[in-house]
Chain A
Amino acid sequence: MTGGPAEPVLSVEGLEVHYRVRVPGQRGKVTARAVDGVDLVVHAGETLALVGESGSGKTSIANAVMRLIEPAAGRIVFDGIDLVPLRGRALRKMRPHFQMIFQDPFESLDPRRTVLDTVMEPLVINGIGESADDRRKLALVALARAGLTPPERMGARFTHQLSGGQRQRVAIAAAMILEPALVVADEPVSMLDVSLRAGILTVMADMRDRLGVAYLFITHDLSLAWMFADRIAVVYLGRVVEEGTSADLIDSPAHPYTRALVSVIPVPETSRDAQRTVLSGETPNPSAIPSGCRFHTRCPLYRELGEPARCREVDPMLAEVHSVVGGHRAACHFIDQQGVS
């Protein structure tokens, strides 16, 4: 890594993703702001977890970063190059450097292909390797690395003959064979049996250590993010509401939303006061984002403080929270008034 740790492999600036959706009771279509101004930075070899409920926009962020959907605004700078204006061949030439692991290994792999063909396909598409034999060797190495052993025997199988966990390993092997600098992992274990999750995460962590790959790890599970990621960004209704190192964010969450999420994590060391904050209500619709702070319709602190007008009127920006390591930021007008009462 020539740029040193300060050099980001990915930086997302002011990302917006809009959808045109039909709303019952309204004529025509309205704009849903699924992603509404998101900034993210992922450094080389680092794992950033994007945590949010369904409907938070986290998957839209992942798909936009992968250039699978068109952002409405913003820059997606990968290795110093803005990907947003790239089209066609120019974009395809960049693609090997950022790869994706999809949520559902039953849907993302062609069941009629052998494992070896599936893992060799990225090489074929990108014209990597001198010969078929060359590609075969690379694929066998990738399979072994993903824990599919013996690779010769596993490679000869059809993907439809594999279990979910094995398929996800195939998907990981295929993504990693291109030696990407960044891998976007969209809920990579949520479709898998709980007993298989640790194995998949171990393989992913191993790739990070051995190949120096950076992860953008999308999950709805804060405890999983805490376990796997260096840093966490919490997403609510298309906006990052808090970000920081995993330890900081879990130990001293600053935003009322994060506090609520943290309070319901089953924690092994039950030193923390066992007060659980269960949020009431549903996440509002992204086609009708609440005014001011978008969380005020569900915010316990807002109610506790007597519903201050500022929350309804002024959209809070991410601001530094005092922390030991730094880089801990939250978007709330009343960060300092937490837990005082």
Chain B
Amino acid sequence: MTSDQAAQGIDDIEYEKPPSNWTLLWGDRMGRWGIIILVVVTVLAVFGPMIWPFDPAAVGEDSSSIFQPPSSAHWLGTDELGRDVFSQFLMGARISLFVGIMATLIATVIGAGIGVMAGFFRGPVDSAAMGVTDFFLVVPALPLMIALAAIFGQNLLIVIIVIGALAWPRTARIVRSQTLSLRERQFVPRARSLGASNARIIRTNITPHLLALIVANTILVVAGCILAEATLSFIGLGDPNRISWGSMLHFGFVSGAVGRGAWWYFLPPGLGILVVVLGFTLVGQSFERVTNPKMRGGA
């Protein structure tokens, strides 16, 4: 049977393995810069406080040690109590990243969960889920965060939960629309006809196709969560016992560092936030581009 021989012949062609997402990301100029930024910041945040000799909380001995400009001992000078600013900066990076990432994990679980359910089950489930999502999307986030932080007190866990609980609607919307189109693909009715339950279809047929999208979105959400933490801490609603970049800015302002021109106190955390947000945004957008074949083709 010649047609069969023709069919069999095709399987002898060597198929090139498609490059992994990470390879593509590294090949993308923006993505590469983003990765470099994030790696540097992460290394600083994780190892910096272990290596740098000063305790961020150690108060200076006398008035001569306050608001010292940068020197070879104190790279970023000292603050209004004579504490080393660079050690605060390193510790602040830790807290900012930690809060940003943890809040994002919460947001992703809530957002992806609601999005998949809404898109997969449609109908009343969808209406209810999207009603809640739209509410959270239009509700002014900052006043609500302020109110929640004021009610539930100021510690790191509360800050994480509050930020995470407000950061999910975008994820839910994106995941929902992708799920809506995935459920129309023929492999879904096929799985159903084989006897697969809804739970199994979501787990084995829908979720794997959402992963790239969720990862790209998650990276972007981290940037937003870090900004949210900085904002909360800046207006004095963060955890008062933890140093974050936001709280450094807060104390920089209330201590009068700005008025005294002590730029080494408020400029580093500000730039830190800027650079980290930029890093996550670059990686996130680049990841979105390289994992979305439609966008990739247009380049």
A residues near B (Cβ < 8 Å) are 63, 66, 68, 92-93, 95-96, 99-100, 102-104, 107-110, 112, 121-122, 125-126, 147, 154, 157, 160-163, 165-166, 171, 174, 178, 195-199, 202
Decide yes or no: A109 and B7 within 8 Å by CB, A125-B195, A126-B195 being known contacts: no
**B6 contacts A125, C-beta separation under 8 Å:** no
**A196 contacts B186, C-beta separation under 8 Å:** no
> Can you list 23 A-B contacts with CB-CB less than 8 angstroms, sorted by A residue number?
A68-B192, A92-B197, A93-B195, A95-B194, A95-B195, A102-B186, A102-B189, A102-B190, A108-B190, A109-B190, A122-B195, A161-B11, A163-B7, A165-B3, A171-B190, A195-B2, A196-B3, A196-B6, A196-B7, A198-B1, A199-B1, A199-B3, A202-B1
Alpha-carbon distance between A166 and B7 when the two chains are bound, in angstroms: 7
Interface residues of B, count at CB 8 A:
24
Q: Does B15 contact A (CB under 8 A)?
A: yes
Q: Does B196 contact A (CB under 8 A)?
A: yes
Q: How far is the CB of B293 from chain A (nearest CB, A)?
A: 13
**B189 contacts A63, C-beta separation under 8 Å:** yes
Alpha-carbon distance between A97 and B114 when the two chains are bound, in angstroms: 34
**B193 contacts A100, C-beta separation under 8 Å:** yes
The 7 closest A-B pairs by CB, nearest first: A107-B186, A95-B195, A108-B186, A163-B10, A165-B7, A108-B190, A122-B194
Q: Does B296 contact A (CB under 8 A)?
A: no
**B187 contacts A109, C-beta separation under 8 Å:** yes
Alpha-carbon distance between A120 and B287 when the two chains are bound, in angstroms: 34
Q: Does B122 contact A (CB under 8 A)?
A: no
**B11 contacts A163, C-beta separation under 8 Å:** yes
**A162 contacts B195, C-beta separation under 8 Å:** no
How many residue pairs, one in A and one in B, have C-beta atoms under 8 Å apart?
79
8 Å CB interface, B1-43 against A: 1-4, 6-7, 10-11, 15
B3: chain A residues within 8 A (beta carbon)? 165, 195-199
8 Å CB interface, B169-216 against A: 185-187, 189-197, 200, 205, 208
**A125 contacts B193, C-beta separation under 8 Å:** no
**A96 contacts B7, C-beta separation under 8 Å:** no
**A96 contacts B11, C-beta separation under 8 Å:** no
Q: How far is the CB of A119 from chain B (nearest CB, A)?
A: 11
Alpha-carbon distance between A125 and B187 when the two chains are bound, in angstroms: 14
Q: How far is the CB of A56 from chain B (nearest CB, A)?
A: 20
A63: chain B residues within 8 A (beta carbon)? 189
Extra contacts besides A95-B195, A109-B187, A199-B1 (8): CB < 8 Å: A95-B194, A99-B193, A107-B187, A109-B190, A122-B194, A122-B195, A161-B15, A202-B1
Kindly name the residue among B187, B189, B190 whose own CB sees the greatest number of chain A CB atoms within 10 A. B190
Kindly name the residue among B1, B4, B15, B200 whose own CB sees the greatest number of chain A CB atoms within 10 A. B4
Q: How far is the CB of B206 from chain A (nearest CB, A)?
A: 11
Q: How far is the CB of B16 from chain A (nearest CB, A)?
A: 11
B192: chain A residues within 8 A (beta carbon)? 68
Closest-by-CB residue of A relative to B7 is A165
B185: chain A residues within 8 A (beta carbon)? 107
Q: How far is the CB of B123 from chain A (nearest CB, A)?
A: 12
Q: How far is the CB of B291 from chain A (nearest CB, A)?
A: 14
